[in-house]
Amino acid sequence: MAEAIPGLQVDHDLSHANTLALPSRAERFWLARCESDVVRGVELANRHDWGITVLGGGSNVLLPPLVGGLTLRADLAEVSFAAGEEGAVHVEVGAGADWHALVRRCVERELWGIENLALIPGLAGAAPIQNIGAYGVEIADVLDWVELVDRRDGRSRRLSREACGLGYRDSVFKRELANQVVITRLGLTLSTRPSPRLDYGALGERVSDPSSAQAIFEAVCAIRREKLPDPVVTPNAGSFFKNPLVSRARADGLLSEAPTMPHYPQPDGRVKLAAGWLIDQCGLRGLRKGAFGVHDRQALVLVHFGGGTLAELLSFSEEIVDTVHATFGVVLEREPRSIQTAVA
């Protein structure tokens, strides 16, 4: 009987384990506090033929009412620092460390590299999955390696940054290795040498002292608190849509109609558009339908007022996608990841 297995929780409530506060239960739940716990969880699931869902802080997922199989959280939280050459500092961080707390700790040590990534919710283990990014910086800029347990053979291995295939909100963990691995640890290289990145949006104007990582950290936190709803108060999953990448020709066509449209040429020749601006221009900011709405300060964020279901949220988001497509001919893609109702 599954219930008799030590450490295995059955019928575990996940409603408070996702920042959208969608009602959800895990058929089985496994909290792994060290790497061998992760391996044991993977072996257990493989032995019983249970699908595995890895959950971090639940800030970028769309949970179904029932998550079948085994839901696993890698709660390894240790952080260590080692001095390298020429001001480099190598940081090893467990997958269960809170990302924002890590950023704060690094900034307090006057380390540069991730200060622009302050206040992104979630755990460190999820950071490479979508290559978290904000204010012109991505984890790709500082990531050295990722350690993981491969679910196919239960073995641990280390992937180099190159092997992680990091791109805009993308990585090998969303493609070839999707649902195949449990990330347990990350290696980052930060620096004691100042390297301010202030060229994104209004950040530069808000920083009191560009030579201080602490000042940048505080400015990022202040801007984010003004713009984004706190998921603890108003459940949400941050940006609900990715910023779409379109061809130069399509961007030029749109710009001839709307010259003020924000647009960011990319190294590959394509142009990134601002999904929030497109939604805003369609007059959808502040729209509320039932339990869900478009946030009134940031059109990229969908919020949950309570009592809603995943099906209602998906239907609401499809209306937004359809309206933007009908108005601009641009297809918006969802950012949070759908968790399948894995078959037990």
Ligand X SMILES: Cc1cc2nc3c(=O)[nH]c(=O)nc-3n(C[C@H](O)[C@H](O)[C@H](O)COP(=O)(O)OP(=O)(O)OC[C@H]3O[C@@H](n4cnc5c(N)ncnc54)[C@H](O)[C@@H]3O)c2cc1C
List interacting residues with ligand X (CB under 6 A): 19, 54-61, 74, 95, 120-123, 125-127, 129-130, 132-134, 181-183, 228, 231, 236-238, 337
Complete edge-to-edge strand list for the sheet that includes strand 79-83: 79-83, 88-94, 181-191, 143-150, 156-160
Instruction: Tell me how far, at minimum, the Cβ of 17 lies from ligand X, in Å.
Output: 8
Q: Which of 169, 171, 185, 285 is catalytic?
A: 169
Q: State the Cα–Cα distance between residues 116 and 20, nearest whole angstrom.
A: 24
Known active-site residue 169: yes
Nearer to ligand X, 101 or 258 (CB): 101
Nearer to ligand X, 121 or 244 (CB): 121
Instruction: Tell me how far, at minimum, the Cβ of 328 lies from ligand X, in Å.
Output: 23
Nearer to ligand X, 184 or 328 (CB): 184
Q: Which of 25, 239, 285, 317 is catalytic?
A: 239
Known active-site residue 36: no
Nearer to ligand X, 273 or 304 (CB): 304
Known active-site residue 239: yes
Q: Which of 92, 110, 312, 335 is catalytic?
A: 335
How would you write the chain as a 3-class SS string? Answer: CHHHCCCEEEEEECCCCCCCCCCCEEEEEEEECCHHHHHHHHHHHHHHCCCEEECCCCCCEECCCEEEEEEEEECCCCEEEEECCCCEEEEEEECCCEHHHHHHHHHHCCCECCHHHCCCCCEHHHCCCCCCEECCEEHHHCEEEEEEEECCCCCEEEEECHHHCCECCECHHHCCCCCCEEEEEEEEEEECCCCCCCCCCCHHHHCCCCCCHHHHHHHHHHHHHHHCCCCCCCCEEEECECCCEECHHHHHHHHHHCCCCCEEECCCCCEEECHHHHHHHCCCCCCEECCEEECCCCCCEEEECCCCCHHHHHHHHHHHHHHHHHHHCCCCCECCEECCCCCC
Instruction: Tell me how far, at minimum, the Cβ of 30 lies from ligand X, in Å.
Output: 12
Nearer to ligand X, 18 or 246 (CB): 18
Instruction: Tell me the backbone φ, ψ of residue 68, rounded to 5 degrees.
Output: -75, 175
Nearer to ligand X, 132 or 251 (CB): 132
Q: Is 70 within 8 Å of 51 (Cβ atoms)?
A: yes
Instruction: Tell me how far, at minimum, the Cβ of 222 lies from ligand X, in Å.
Output: 14
Instruction: Tell me how far, at minimum, the Cβ of 109 lies from ligand X, in Å.
Output: 22
Instruction: Tell me how far, at minimum, the Cβ of 148 lies from ligand X, in Å.
Output: 7
Instruction: Tell me how far, at minimum, the Cβ of 344 lies from ligand X, in Å.
Output: 17
Nearer to ligand X, 19 or 328 (CB): 19
Active site residues: 169, 239, 335
